[in-house]
Structure 1
Amino acid sequence: MLNILYEKLTTCRAAAMRRAFALSVLAALGGCQTFPLTPTEFGMSLESEPFVQQRASDAWVAVDGTQLVLERALGPVSEQRILLPNRTALSGENVMHLRARRGDLVNMGRFRPLDLLGPEGTPHPFDPFEDLSFRTEDDVLGTLSWAVWTNQAGLNCVLAFRRLDATTRVVPADAAIADMMLRNCIHGSVEEALEPARPSVSGFAATGLPARGAPEMLSPLAGPQP
């Protein structure tokens, strides 16, 4: 009889201990921060990452007159800023800003140009983004959208956006996409200012220069149309 009572008591104690252990585990798990960063938090973290200077031959796009190539990365995202000459009196940099992201192409979501602007908004001399009027054109690399600022005296600026993906050319850092923003102000035509975003330029990378010194196109699908 005593043996039976002892076995029942031992069983009850063991069950109580298991319940207490399970509750403590659930409480501990409830306090864990296992969720990924929100888009806003990730953007702030990326902005705090420093840019590192790269060789001109490592530029993701081969743009004539490239003065400086800067790059940074955080998680699946890499960014590159290609600084271009600014021969105007306007303040601000002529720059091509590229953001590449690894992952499955089908899961990349829609292109969001505002993500490339940063906290300062649209570059000088453009109006706020929501007040801009954009023109759109489709080409062999996809869709190119741009806004124009002009002083009506031969000084023209373009603010252009497009998405490059692995179906049209090889994108950098084993990424699925590379989103592009171009700010370019020149003494010349709008078409000349827009040239770095055209397939004849943005379809090429500066890497893998052959002996003749011309950049090789990274995808046969990215060639200019006849």
Structure 2
Amino acid sequence: MALAIVAGCSQTEGDRTATGLFRFMGSQRNPVIEELENTVEYTVVPASRAMVNAPTALVVFERNLGGAIEQKIILPNNTTVQGDNVLHIRGQTSDSARLEEFNFDEVAVRFGGLPVPFQQIEDSALSSGSDELGSYVYARENLGTSTVCVLVLRRLGVGARPLPRGTQSLDVVMRNCVNGTVEEALAPMSARAMAVTGMQTGTIRTLSPYAAPRG
């Protein structure tokens, strides 16, 4: 048993070393998190566990990637655009992401690729925006005469809002297609939406159910 524990620790440290080398070379490979992404399944959790304010959520999926809490919050899609509207959230650790750099390519890889209709978009095509919680980047795609889709990426760091216990940032990727305006499409990623919510009452709390206890 002792040999197995030592072997497991050695493998983990080896994976971390490999991840560091990949990052140094500009690669998005991350053996530590890749294995967890490929083996840890999502479970359905109550809407009250959502890490952001999403009162229209149809279902919330969650998994724990070695301390990096990940959720997929499925939003209504009243358009004919393929795929789900989704808020994809991950509470990041130093193992799961480059905390010093919010890298578009890394986010695209770690979040399973970019959704329809943004599969071929490059970071140079992104626009920037900001609100009370900080900055974000987004792309928009007009489809037909009334449908607009947005892809939004943002990182919320320490101080922006409570974070899941043991994490240093909250990374969020949203695909939202609506029959309406770009402002309506962006709404689920607004500062108010990114606050922590008590979904049973619709009130906004200041402390996440995942946040570390206050001293």
Provide the secondary structure at the position in 2 that maps to 1:195. helix
Query: Is the aligned partner of 1:133 residue 2:112?
Result: no
Between the two proteins, the alignment pairs up a number of residues equal to: 183
Which of 178, 185, 193 does residue 177 from structure 2 map onto? 185
Structure with the higher strand share, 1 or 2: 2
Deviations, residues 37-56 of structure 1 (Å, cap 9, x unaligned): 32421342132111111110
C-alpha distance in structure 1 between counterparts of 2:86 and 2:188, whole Å: 10
C-alpha distance in structure 2 between counterparts of 1:152 and 1:135, whole Å: 21
Query: Is the aligned partner of 1:41 residue 2:31?
Result: yes
Provide the secondary structure at the position in 1 that maps to 2:15. coil
Structure 1 unaligned regions, length at least 5:
1-31, 220-226
Query: Is the aligned partner of 1:144 residue 2:123?
Result: no
Q: Which residue of structure 2 aligns with residue 62 of structure 1?
A: 53
Q: CA deviation at 1:216?
A: 2.1
Structure with the higher helix share, 1 or 2: 1
C-alpha distance in structure 2 between counterparts of 1:62 and 1:194, whole Å: 14
Q: Percent identity?
A: 32
Q: CA deviation at 1:172?
A: 2.0
Residue identity opposite 1:73 in structure 2: N
The change in CA–CA distance for 1:127 and 1:74 in structure 2 (over 3 A counts) is closer
Structure 2 unaligned regions, length at least 5:
1-9, 20-28, 209-215
For normalisation by structure 2, the TM-score amounts to: 0.75
Conservation of the 8 A alpha-carbon contact between 1:56 and 1:206 = no
Provide the secondary structure at the position in 2 that maps to 1:186. strand
Conservation of the 8 A alpha-carbon contact between 1:145 and 1:161 = yes
Q: Which residue of structure 2 aligns with residue 52 of structure 1?
A: 43
Residue identity opposite 2:31 in structure 1: E
Conservation of the 8 A alpha-carbon contact between 2:55 and 2:202 = no
C-alpha distance in structure 2 between counterparts of 1:55 and 1:152, whole Å: 36
C-alpha distance in structure 2 between counterparts of 1:193 and 1:165, whole Å: 24
Q: CA deviation at 1:127?
A: 4.2
After superposition, the CA RMSD in angstroms is 2.5
Conservation of the 8 A alpha-carbon contact between 1:95 and 1:183 = yes
Residue identity opposite 1:176 in structure 2: Q
Deviations, residues 150-176 of structure 1 (Å, cap 9, x unaligned): 125110000001011221110123422
Query: Is the aligned partner of 1:76 residue 2:67?
Result: yes
Residue identity opposite 1:109 in structure 2: E
The change in CA–CA distance for 1:93 and 1:117 in structure 2 (over 3 A counts) is farther
The change in CA–CA distance for 1:132 and 1:121 in structure 2 (over 3 A counts) is farther
Conservation of the 8 A alpha-carbon contact between 1:121 and 1:128 = no
Which of 215, 218, 224 does residue 204 from structure 2 map onto? 215
Deviations, residues 112-157 of structure 1 (Å, cap 9, x unaligned): 2333434752211124132761110222211111000112511000
Worse-superposed segment, 79-88 or 138-147: 138-147
For normalisation by structure 1, the TM-score amounts to: 0.72
